[in-house]
Amino acid sequence: MSATADALLVFVLMLNFVVLGSGRIRSLIYTVAAQGVALGVLPVLVHPAGLREALVSIGAIVLKSAVIPRMLMRAMADLPVRREVQPLVGFRTSLVLGAVATAASLLLASRLPVLGNTAVRLLVPASFATVLCGFIVLIARVKAITQVLGYLVLENGIFLFGLLLLDAMPFLVEIGVLLDLFVAIFVMGIIINHIHREFSSISTERLSTLRE
């Protein structure tokens, strides 16, 4: 089981790079959805199968691969945006940064005092790497919808980390995390619409006029 889990985690890390390097928004959405499916399968693989793990799995898969991509596609439908054209940090630079982050996580993460299931060795480094890649997307991109996708990647990383503690964490918190994700994306979709209505663009550079 842990071999399959490791393979899936490597797949997740690869998808991180795809997200960092691509500028076409539709493909970004599909990539993140695929990452969600991969993550959704993991709870059953990492822990011995039980009702709770099955529920979390199914909830994660449904949410991350079906519900959220559909919400984002619907938000995108009203907007004339198809690509991220002028990011703050270029695609190549963000790829390099992502590689550095992944390397750092792989080297250092295993040294951190972390409790829980360490049979799957890649779990902790993969989660840190995903979180850092999500942050890089959030910082480097200008269009609001790309930032939402960066947030999704960040949440995937947190979900990965939570898998470690699935036994220790109350069920309520797991479900709470999923609910939090759903609500956050819902709200962001609404906000993107409002931003577009107000500024006729979803470039977040315009938002700095709200500073005063």
Partner 1 sequence: MAASDTAASLFALLPVWLPLLGALLIGASGLPGVFLSSRSRAGERLAVVLHGVGALAVLVGAVASLFVASSPRFELAWSLPFGSFRIEVDGLSAAFLVPLVVVPALGAVYGLRYWSQREHPETGRKLRAFYGVLAASLVLLTIARDGVLFLFAWEGMALSAFFLITTDHDDPEARAAGRVYFIATHVGTLALFALLSIVFAQTGSFGLDALPEASASAGACAAIFALGLLGFGLKAGLMPLHVWLPGAHAVAPSHVSAVLSAVVLKTGVYGLARLTCMLPHPPLYWGGLVLALGAISGVAGVVFAIAQHDLKRLLAYHSIENVGIIVMGLGLALLGRSQGRADWIALGLGGAILHVWNHSFFKALLFLSAGSVIHRVHTREIDRMGGLARSMPVTAALFLCGAVAICGLPPLNGFVSELLIYLGLWKTLAPADGSPVAAAALAVPALAMIGALAAACFVKAFGAVFLGVARRPHEREPVEAPRTMLVPMAALALLCAAIGLLPALAVPFLDRAAATWSAAATAGGGAPVPLRTLAPVGPLGWITVLSAALWVGAAAAVLLLRRRMRVEDDQRVPTWDCGYAAPTARMQYSSSSFAEMLVAIFRWALRPREHAPRLRELFPKSAHHRSHVDDVVLDRWFLPVLRWIARKLLWLRFLQPGRIQLYILYVLIAVLALALSTVPVGELLKGLVPR
**Residues engaged in binding partner 1 (CB under 8 A):** 88, 107-108, 111-113, 132, 135, 138-142, 147, 170-173, 204-205, 207-211
Report, in Å, the least distance between residue 72 CB and partner 1.
18
How far apart are alpha carbons 53 and 44 in whole angstroms? 6
Number of Cβ within a 10 Å radius of residue 94: 22
Of 63 and 137, CB closest to partner 1: 137
How far apart are alpha carbons 210 and 105 in whole angstroms? 36
Kindly tell me the sign of the dihedral angle through the C-alpha atoms of 47, 48, 52, 55. positive
Of 10 and 207, CB closest to partner 1: 207
Report, in Å, the least distance between residue 42 CB and partner 1.
22
C-beta separation of 162 from 45 below 8 A = no
Report, in Å, the least distance between residue 22 CB and partner 1.
19
Of 37 and 106, CB closest to partner 1: 106
Of 197 and 209, CB closest to partner 1: 209
Give the largest Cα separation in the chain, rounded.
55
